[in-house]
Amino acid sequence: MTVYTDVWDRALCKTLAEGAGVHIVIASKEIILKFLFAKLTVASVLACATALAFAEPGTSADDLLHDADGVVQQIDAGHFGEIWDDTAPFVKAKIPKDQWVLDTRTSRQSFGAVAARGWASVTRIRYAANASGIPAGLYANVNFTTALVQGGAVYELLSFRLENDGKWHLTGYVPRKSQDSAAQSAQVPKP
């Protein structure tokens, strides 16, 4: 065992440590405090890392924003079939792929080329099972404010469900001309 002390009487320290198997390090209070602070910092970092390691997969806003950004990039590129392939299973069960692709393509083409896009808000909602056939679970809306090349802006609402695989899967895409809260609330989790 090592003991850190600011006792300056070396003879007293040696007497106390004899036969006890204790190694005494004599240092100033400032050095002891720096050492203890360093140990506390390392312990705090390890505790945070451990907590993060046990976090529920897919629940971070960063994961959701990353997935949402990937979907709008696929929409811009016209990869509607690929997006549908990764939508939430309950959406696939309700809407045929051809219909979903057509509706999404028509919605996206209605506003033209994108100059810039940034997320405006993220809302997570936990739903219980209900009679409409929408499964219980964790859902989220990501709102983007999108500047258009020809001027003006459009507001894109992407809705997601966190599936059992720990990933967010799209449940809906709605571009709007105004940032209308009634339109937002009507979208989660409506496919």
pLDDT along the chain (191 residues), means of 10: 51 53 57 55 54 54 92 95 95 94 92 93 88 85 95 94 94 88 47 48
Q: Are 72 and 158 in contact (CB under 8 A)?
A: yes
Q: What is the pLDDT of residues 97-143, one digit of tens each?
A: 999 999 999 999 888 899 999 999 999 999 887 767 789 999 999 99
Cα 56 to Cα 53, 128, 137, 138, 167: the distances in Å are 9, 19, 14, 12, 11
Q: Residue 59: name the closest of 139, 119, 113, 5 by CA.
A: 139
Q: Could you tell me whether strands 168-176 and 153-162 are parallel, antiparallel, or unpaired per DSSP bridges?
A: antiparallel
pLDDT at position 184 is: 45
Enter the pTM of the model: 0.65
| Torsion over CA: 42, 43, 48, 50 (sign) | positive
Copy the structure tokens of residue 139: 């859902």
Tell me how far apart the alpha carbons of residues 23 and 18 are, in angstroms, rounded to a whole number.
9
| Rounded Cα distance, 149 and 156, in Å | 15
Q: How many Cβ atoms are within 10 Å of 93's Cβ, its own excluded?
A: 10
List, in order of start, the domains of the chain with CATH numbers: 2-53 (no CATH), 61-185 (3.10.450)
